Structure 1
Amino acid sequence: MEGDNNKTAKNEVLEWIKSILLAVVIAVLIKTFIFNTTYVLGNSMYPTLHERDRLFANKIPLYFSGPKRGEIVVLKAPDATNKDYIKRVIAIGGDTVSIIDGKVYLNGQLLEEDYIEEGAYTHVYDQNYWEVPEGYVFVLGDNREEGASKDSRYFGCVPVDSIKGITTFRYYPFNHRFGKIE
């Protein structure tokens, strides 16, 4: 009788271990291939995102179509290791971007940017015109105050394969900003 109890206890422990390992494997697969979470540090995406916002970054669209103009992406920082940036895609491969008198032009047309503060002036650094190669994107932070965002004006176009996910949903804080990111 006692042997049966030991055998049952061992089987139960093995089942728990299997369940835990399966849960870990599933979590790793989800984090690796489906979505990740990210945390906003700094104000480069203000007013759209605020410091300490927590976001989901969806990886699935990257397998099929890549990022689209206007989407907010998480990308590996081109100028720092082990760091990520959150920026908005302004242009994709084949597009041109110019910044003239504080205004952004996409393919020669003034870009309608309802996500930045009214009257915001987009500063430039060394250049004001970019041709985006295929397989690359041009990204900007929504905060256009001078020095507020390290983005493509600073480090140039970024490879699409450096993008880690597309953010569409803010899951924290639980206030009026909770939900879909516009």
Structure 2
Amino acid sequence: MNETSKPKNEFLSWLVAIFFGIVLSFICREFVFSPLIVKGASMVPTYENSDVIIISKISDIDRFDHVVFQSPYEDEYYIKRVIGLPGDTVEMKEDILIINGEEYDEPYVNRDIENPFQKRLTENFTLKELTGESQVPDGFLFVLGDNRLRSSDSRHFGLISEESILGESKLRIYPLSDLHLFRGKEELNLN
């Protein structure tokens, strides 16, 4: 091998490595995971405005997971908590969440009430009153924000299609002082 072909071969090998790195990162971002910036206060205290999260596009969605989905009425993505899965009945009575007849504690809900005359965080409802369905139908989910007084969610726009889901929030990476790994009902603070 002569001396002039050695730098040329090295340059080509770097070029191929860079090309495959770009292709691999594109594939991962499109089909496996993606970073997003949270906008708004509908998920306070779980997420604050401008938090940066990583979503998994290959996760199986379960109750209480945080999902990012296409808004039903605007060109935006929303992040909300999954409350009702297909086949579930959902209702709220006196700020108590009832799914399939079982009461659930909601420690993640923002309980700060600014108005002293406000008696409840979440108005009473049944799934049938909101959507006309007695159970969440196949292919759909019932979602709520953690900041119930400031969230536009299934109480307002109805059920969301599973096809509209971009992914599940798995990791908050910014701000660094509040780094969290989300695993279903369990949260790990990584600080």
TM-score above 0.5: yes
Q: In structure 2, what is the Cα distance between the partners aligned to 1:111 and 1:121? A: 15
What is the CA distance between 1:60 and its match in structure 2? 2.4
Structure 1: tracts of 5 or more residues without a match: none
| TM-score normalised per structure 2 | 0.79
What is the CA distance between 1:41 and its match in structure 2? 0.8
1:117 paired to 2:110: yes
| TM-score normalised per structure 1 | 0.83
Structure 2: tracts of 5 or more residues without a match: 113-119
Structure-to-structure mapping, 1:85-100, within 5 angstroms? 85-100=78-93
How many residues end up aligned between the 2 structures? 171
Which amino acid counterpart does residue 180 of structure 1 have in structure 2?
L
Which amino acid counterpart does residue 108 of structure 1 have in structure 2?
G
Give 2:138's aligned residue: 134
Which amino acid counterpart does residue 151 of structure 1 have in structure 2?
D
Q: In structure 2, what is the Cα distance between the partners aligned to 1:149 and 1:38? A: 19
Give 1:153's aligned residue: 155
Aligned partner of 1:55 among 53, 56, 67: 53
Change (3 A) 1:128 1:102: farther
Which amino acid counterpart does residue 181 of structure 2 have in structure 1?
K
Which amino acid counterpart does residue 64 of structure 2 have in structure 1?
G
Q: In structure 2, what is the Cα distance between the partners aligned to 1:178 and 1:80? A: 30
Give 2:181's aligned residue: 180
Q: Is the 8 A contact 1:124 1:153 kept in 2?
A: no
What is the CA distance between 1:117 and its match in structure 2? 2.5
Deviations 1:117-172 (A, max 9, x none): 337611479x4465210111111110011xx2121111111111211111121111
What is the CA distance between 1:108 and its match in structure 2? 2.8
What is the CA distance between 1:37 and its match in structure 2? 1.1
Aligned partner of 1:75 among 63, 69, 72: 69
- Per mean C-alpha deviation after superposition, the further-off stretch among 112-121 and 135-144 is 112-121
Report sequence identity in percent. 35
1:168 paired to 2:170: yes
